[in-house]
Amino acid sequence: MRVQLQRHGERLGCRNVSRAWGFKPTTPVRRPSCRRPDDRFVRDWLNRDPLGERGGRNLYGFVNNSPVNRFDALGLKCCVLFYSGSTLDGLPYDHTAIECDNGVYISAFPSNKQVVPASPAEWKDKEHDEKRWGKPKSTVCLDCVDEAAVSAWFEKAKGNTEFSGPCNNCSDIGREAINAGLPEQKKPTCPPCTIPEHRYRIVDIMEDPLLPSTASKLDRQAKALKENDCQRFKCELVFTPKRPFF
């Protein structure tokens, strides 16, 4: 007989809801299919997240252990795909796209086949992107993104989005799609700084005007967003000299 154990060494099995939640129903009730039963004493899931490492470092967590603020009812996610290795007019040409488990794939190109001037966005599928670039060089999956909100944003964007290399390229469009599906955002309260000529400031991970909007930029932003528990705002320590260097 094969016995499945949880990480604490205890036997894993389906438990009656009445025992776990403290009430006694008239008919026996068990957790639906018992795919991921939880333990009220350990306060953790008894088996691993089916998403694996892509769901975060804690393999026994769920929506970053914050079900009050986040939800993932269908176990879906959206991923930022970073493609690299192609060229356009003899120059390196990277690309980024958004792929969600509900079937949405957002990949924008200029309909006039030129980076400038601006033209209506042309939407491609994953088969097109992989035929041109091959497999994505990097994939960053965010299970905190509301796929339905991303789908609703995409339906509105299909007919009224312009593609412009300098101003509204694939990276900008992908960032808008991710922002549309993020959970409620809260600005943190930064602690006081005791280091001379330094201070904390609140920065927006998804907005960085100092760097050009490129496909690799959205890839870095998605990684930073995942590290910050899908919150756009974080405290950053900056150097603020009282006197000029010269």
Tokens read off for 117: 């001037």
Contact by Cβ (8 Å): 106, 123: yes
pLDDT for residue 75 is more than 90: no
Query: Does residue 246 register a pLDDT over 90?
Result: no
Report d(CA 97, CA 25) in Å as an integer.
Answer: 49
List the structure tokens of 65: 């252990």
Report the range of poorest mean pLDDT among 15-19, 50-54, 57-61, 185-189. Answer: 15-19
Q: Mind listing the pLDDT tens digit for each residue in 142-189?
A: 988 999 899 999 999 998 899 987 788 999 999 999 999 998 899 999
pLDDT at position 113 is 81
195 or 13: whose pLDDT is higher?
195
Strand order in the sheet with 105-106: 105-106, 91-100, 78-88, 138-142
SS (H, E, C) 26-67: CCCCECCCCCCCEECCCCEECCCCCCHHHHCCCCCCCHHHCC
Instruction: Give this prediction's pTM.
Output: 0.68
The mean pLDDT of the chain is 78
Grade residue 204 by pLDDT with cuts at 50, 70 and 90: very high
Q: What is the pLDDT of residue 93?
A: 85
What's the rounded mean pLDDT across residues 52-79? 66
**Nearest-angstrom CA–CA distance, 186 and 71:** 17
pLDDT band, residue 202 (cuts 50/70/90): very high
Per-residue model confidence (pLDDT) at position 71:
58
Site of tokens 């944003």: 153
Which of 25-34, 48-57, 139-148, 211-220 shows the lowest per-residue confidence on average (mean pLDDT)? 25-34
Which of 9, 55, 62 lies closest to 37, judged by CA?
62
201 against 88, higher pLDDT: 201
| Angle between the N-to-C axes of helices 170-181 and 215-227, in degrees from 0 to 180, rounded to the nearest 10 | 20
- Is it the case that residue 201 has pLDDT exceeding 80? yes
**pLDDT score at 6:** 47
pLDDT over 70, % of the chain: 66
Query: Which sequence spans correspond to the domains of the chain?
Result: 78-181
Q: Is the pLDDT of residue 117 over 50?
A: yes
The residues near 26 (Cβ < 8 Å, ≥ 6 apart) are none
pLDDT at residue number 159: 85
Residue type, 206: M
